[in-house]
Amino acid sequence: MCLPPDAIANLGLELLKEVSVTTATGLSKARIFRDATILLCGREGTFECLELPGGRDALLGVIPLEALGLEPDLRNQTLKVLPDESVDTYLTIL
């Protein structure tokens, strides 16, 4: 999950660490914040959050989506809520 600095400040997230990242513009430093809680489609989870440069759109990555049991429906531009209480549950331990 990635949020711009103003959203991180508004949420009062606590700094976890600073890391080196490689992007199209080269190597730079980025900050990671702890305990960003997401409530989406009736599902809730807490994740680390990478700070984006100011003014950028928030990004919700594949790890939070999978952990919340949400699947993108690209054709309809929606999120599909996967079952969590049947034999078809997305919660599988192998």
Residue 35 maps to a domain = yes
Residue 26 maps to a domain = yes
Task: Give the structural domain span for 60.
Answer: 2-81
Q: pLDDT tens, 15-61? A: 999 999 887 888 888 999 999 999 999 999 999 999 987 667 889 89
Q: pLDDT tens, 8-18? A: 999 999 999 99
End-to-end Cα, the chain, rounded Å: 26
- Domain count for the chain, please give it: 1
* Residue closest to 7 by CA, chosen among 65, 58, 63, 61: 58
What pTM was estimated for this model as a whole? 0.77
Residue 70 maps to a domain = yes
Residue 24 maps to a domain = yes
Residue 90 maps to a domain = no
Distances (CA, A) of 69 to 18, 36, 87: 29, 17, 14
Q: pLDDT tens, 74-85? A: 999 999 998 877
Q: What CATH number is attached to the domain comprising 40?
A: 2.40.70.10
